[in-house]
Structure 1
Amino acid sequence: MLIRSNHGYDGNMLMYLEGDSIVHWLHASKYPPSLAYILLELGLMAIILAALIRLESVVNVCRNGPVLVYGQTALFFYLAHFGVLTVLSLVLNPDGLGQTYLTTLLVLIIFYPVCRIYPTLKWHYSRSMLRFM
């Protein structure tokens, strides 16, 4: 807020604050990452993380819940879903938003059991390359 309130340099490279509306305050340069953009993203992540930590004590977290399963295997899911999307792009033709949502849901359903098994496999073969994913 202090950086954006300065009417000279506001953290954006060659982008000056043109007004005092909320839209102008949130207008930040992503590429190259400006100081305003980095602080905005870090601030929002800190607020969301604090809310989720507070919510965790109130809500019972399920061990096999999708958020926890995909959160524990994020890099594995990220690397492995490219192959599945390549195969699905041959079968399905995602030409619209509905097809894109269907493909996304299909990938999540396909990978849920695989991502549930992956931590056990990773623990069982602890000296393999699986420990890095």
Structure 2
Amino acid sequence: MSLLCDLFVNSREEALAYESTASLDRSNRIKRFAPVEFKGLTSLEFGTLWAILENEEWNPEKHMLIDVAFGEGGESWLHQFQDEYVALLSKLEETDVNAAAHEWSQTEELSCSADDIHPVVVALVRLSQQSISQCKGLYMWGSL
């Protein structure tokens, strides 16, 4: 079993409803929320990317996503990206994305190739821009 990680933009109220949609068939969930689906990523990995983008040491007091909700038994979780992090992501240019993917891929948490993680950074940039333009939050839903 692998960790599921869905990224999406929506209002807080709709984001809180995401958990209940996990049991819906995938096509209905995609239609309603338009999530970008990945596997194996948690708020810790996204926090390390934030620290990389700020050229800082990772700090759990600063570089963790906001806890929004946890499913029954802690088997799922909903986190929101901070506005500051979303703004930073939204401004990344292609060279920044490539550099971030390379450095992020080398972290102990990921230890993968930059090509493997590059689509995640690209999605984060696009979703961050969408989040700002729609005045909605960027969320990460995860599940065991």
TM-score range, shorter chain: under 0.3
* Length-normalised TM-score, structure 2: 0.25
The structure with the greater share of residues assigned to strand is 2
RCO comparison, higher one (Cα < 8 Å, 6+): 2
Computing the radius of gyration from Cα coordinates, the structure with the larger value is: 1
Higher helix share: 1
